[in-house]
C-alpha cells in the first residue's frame, strides 16, 4: 500500500535526523564538561526514541489510524529533544548567530505541511533530509524556501508538466543539487548555469553599479563535486546568455530557478526561459523582495509589465517571486 511506503520514507528521514542530533551531542560533550550531565540526559532520551522508531515497523499490520497516532507521538518527542538540545547550545553560545538560528528548530519542525504526515508527499520526506544534510547552514536559514521549492517541483511533476529543470545562478550548488535530484529521479534534464566565478563585471552597472563583485569562492569543479554528474545533469559555464548551447536553446522547461541577483542576468533569464516554459511551468526568482537587490526587482517588474504577467510572492528569507505560465 502507498501509505506503507510513505511511512517507511518518513522513518528513514527521522532516522537521519536522530543520527545528526547524536553527532552534535557527542561533539558538545567533548567540548564542554560542565554540560555533560544535561547532554547525557538528552542522549538517553534520543536512544529511547530511536528504539521506538525501529519498533514502529511492527505496527504495519495494524490500522492506518493507529500508526498515524504513533507517528505523531514520536514526532512530538523528537521536537522536544531537539528543542532541549538547542536550549543548551543557545545558553553556551547565545551570541552566535548559528546558535540563535538552531534554536528555532522547534518552529521549523512544527510547520511541516499536513500532507507530509499524511504521506501525500513521499519525495518530500526523502529529499528534505538530503537537502538539509548537504547544506545545513544555508537551508535552516531559509526553510520556507525549501518547503515552497519542494511542493511546487512535486506539483509540476505530478501534473505531468513536460520539460527540463534549470537554475541560472547556482553559486555553490545548494538549490541546484536539490533540483538535480528531482530531475534524475524523474528522467528529466537539469541545466546548471553559471559563470562559476562570481559576478561578471559586465553586470555591475546601472541600478547595480553600487554592488561589488561577490560569490567568487566557487568553481565549476567544486559545484560538480557537490551536485554530482550524470547523463541528465548538464553544466553550462560562461556569461549568460552568450553561454547558451544549442541543446539548451532547443529545450523546453517545466521548472526554472533564477538566482543571479542583478538586473542584467535576471532580465536575460526571464527573456530566455519564459518563452520556453511549458504551460503550468514555473519560474522562481530569488531575492525579488529582499530590499537589497533592486536590480532583480526592477528586471522582474519590467518584464511582467511588458508581458502582462503577475508574480506570486513567497515569505521566505530573501523574498522569492514566482511566475506561473
Structural domain count, the chain: 2
Indicate whether 91 belongs to any domain.
Answer: yes
The model's pLDDT over 127-180, given as tens digits with 9 standing for 90+, comes to 555 555 555 454 445 777 888 888 899 999 999 999 999 999 998 888 899 899
We report the CATH number of the domain holding residue 174 as: 3.40.50.150
Does the pLDDT at position 322 exceed 70? yes
Q: Is the Cα dihedral 216, 222, 224, 228 positive or negative?
A: negative
C-alpha span between 13 and 16 (Å, rounded)? 5
What is the predicted pLDDT for the residue at 67? 54
For 82, the domain range is 2-111
Q: Does residue 49 contact residue 18 with C-beta atoms inside 8 Å?
A: yes
Mean pLDDT of 57-83: 55
Mean pLDDT of 61-89: 54
Indicate whether 133 belongs to any domain.
Answer: no
What is the predicted pLDDT for the residue at 184? 93
Do 192 and 150 belong together in one domain? yes
What is the predicted pLDDT for the residue at 128? 54
Do 100 and 183 belong together in one domain? no
Nearest to 297 by CA among 275, 318, 273: 318
Do 40 and 82 belong together in one domain? yes
The model's pLDDT over 245-302, given as tens digits with 9 standing for 90+, comes to 999 999 999 999 999 989 999 999 999 999 999 999 999 999 999 888 899 999 999 9
Do 62 and 154 belong together in one domain? no
What is the predicted pLDDT for the residue at 270? 98
C-alpha span between 287 and 282 (Å, rounded)? 16
- Stated pTM of the model: 0.64
The model's pLDDT over 199-258, given as tens digits with 9 standing for 90+, comes to 877 767 777 666 666 777 889 999 999 889 988 999 999 999 999 999 999 999 999 999
C-alpha span between 173 and 3 (Å, rounded)? 32
The model's pLDDT over 184-195, given as tens digits with 9 standing for 90+, comes to 999 999 999 999
What is the predicted pLDDT for the residue at 101? 45
DSSP-based three-state secondary structure for 325: coil
Amino acid at each position: 500500500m502507498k501509505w506503507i511506503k510513505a511511512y517507511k520514507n518518513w522513518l528513514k528521514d527521522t532516522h537521519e535526523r536522530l543520527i545528526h542530533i547524536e553527532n552534535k551531542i557527542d561533539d558538545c560533550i567533548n567540548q564542554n564538561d560542565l554540560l555533560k550531565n544535561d547532554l547525557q540526559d538528552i542522549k538517553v532520551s534520543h536512544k529511547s526514541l530511536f528504539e521506538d522508531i525501529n519498533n514502529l515497523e511492527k505496527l504495519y499490520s495494524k490500522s492506518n489510524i493507529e500508526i498515524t497516532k504513533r507517528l505523531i507521538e514520536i514526532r512530538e518527542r523528537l521536537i522536544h529533544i531537539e528543542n532541549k538540545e538547542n536550549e543548551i547550545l543557545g545558553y553556551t553560545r547565545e551570541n552566535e548567530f548559528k546558535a540563535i538560528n538552531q534554536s528555532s528548530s522547534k518552529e521549523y519542525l512544527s510547520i511541516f505541511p499536513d500532507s507530509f504526515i499524511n504521506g501525500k508527499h513521499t519525495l518530500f520526506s526523502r529529499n528534505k533530509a538530503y537537502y538539509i544534510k548537504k547544506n545545513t547552514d544555508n537551508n535552516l536559514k531559509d526553510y520556507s524556501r525549501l518547503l515552497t521549492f519542494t511542493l511546487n517541483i512535486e506539483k509540476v511533476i505530478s501534473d505531468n508538466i513536460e520539460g527540463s529543470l534549470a537554475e541560472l545562478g547556482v553559486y555553490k550548488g545548494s538549490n541546484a543539487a536539490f533540483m538535480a535530484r528531482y530531475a534524475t529521479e524523474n528522467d528529466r534534464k537539469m541545466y546548471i548555469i553559471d559563470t562559476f566565478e562570481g559576478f561578471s563585471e559586465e553586470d555591475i552597472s546601472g541600478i547595480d553599479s553600487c554592488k561589488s563583485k561577490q560569490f567568487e569562492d566557487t568553481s565549476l569543479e567544486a559545484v560538480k563535486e557537490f551536485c554530482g554528474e550524470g547523463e541528465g545533469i548538464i553544466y553550462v559555464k560562461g556569461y549568460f546568455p552568450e553561454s547558451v548551447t544549442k541543446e539548451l536553446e532547443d529545450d523546453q522547461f517545466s521548472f526554472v530557478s533564477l538566482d543571479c541577483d542583478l538586473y542584467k542576468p535576471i532580465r536575460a533569464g526571464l527573456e530566455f526561459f519564459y518563452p520556453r516554459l511549458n504551460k503550468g511551468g514555473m519560474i522562481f526568482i530569488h531575492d525579488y523582495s529582499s530590499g537589497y537587490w533592486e536590480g532583480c526587482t526592477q528586471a522582474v517588474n519590467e518584464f511582467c509589465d511588458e508581458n502582462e504577467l503577475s508574480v506570486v510572492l513567497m515569505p521566505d528569507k530573501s523574498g522569492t517571486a514566482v511566475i506561473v505560465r
